[in-house]
């Protein structure tokens, strides 16, 4: 049975997906900017502040934005003609989103939160902050690539009928 959601329902889920996905991109970008500022700045007050802000933003925004973007994307995949594994581009987005959701929430965000807490206590944040900056750069690049893939839908179906 090929279930599809009603057009009005699809539009609301698409709206939610776009808004939360843009929010996720914004969270990645904001944390990345703070992280770069914390690494590049020589002024200790600015460095400390940037680390604190990066930790707060990552700890507050990343999980809800990534969860809602993932959930609405899965619902759209299941309830529209695209499905989850029928087209290469949808499958690619699903794998990239799952990897970013798991890796970001389990590995990257906790390090930003820890660095922010260290900076808030007045401690010096070590060189491990550089790896978080690299991870946020990769995450932002993947999210932008997923957006590009959604728009252009470059690849054919995964499974073709004979």
Instruction: State pTM to two decimals.
Output: 0.90
- Better pLDDT: 45 or 127: 45
Q: Nearest 10 degrees: CA dihedral of 138, 143, 149, 150?
A: 170
| Separation CA 108–CA 152 (nearest Å) | 29
pLDDT band for position 161 (50/70/90)? low
| Helix or strand run (H / E) with residue 62 | none
Res. 86: pLDDT tops 90 = no
Task: Give residue 159's pLDDT.
Answer: 64
Find the angle CA(71)-CA(148)-CA(159) to the nearest 5 degrees: 70
């Amino acid at each position: 049975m090929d279930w599809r959601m009603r057009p009005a329902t699809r539009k609301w889920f698409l709206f939610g997906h776009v808004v939360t996905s843009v929010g996720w991109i914004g969270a990645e970008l904001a944390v990345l900017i703070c992280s770069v500022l914390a690494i590049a700045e020589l002024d200790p007050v600015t460095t400390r502040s940037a680390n604190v802000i990066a930790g707060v933003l990552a700890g507050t925004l990343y999980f809800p934005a990534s969860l809602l973007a993932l959930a609405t994307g899965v619902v759209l995949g299941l309830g529209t003609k695209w499905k989850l594994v029928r087209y290469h581009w949808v499958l690619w987005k699903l794998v990239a989103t799952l990897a970013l959701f798991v890796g970001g929430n389990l590995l990257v965000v906790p390090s930003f939160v820890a660095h922010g807490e260290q900076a808030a206590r007045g401690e010096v944040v070590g060189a491990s902050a550089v790896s978080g900056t690299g991870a946020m750069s990769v995450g932002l690049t993947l999210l932008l690539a997923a957006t590009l893939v959604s728009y252009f839908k470059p690849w054919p179906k995964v499974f073709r009928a004979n």
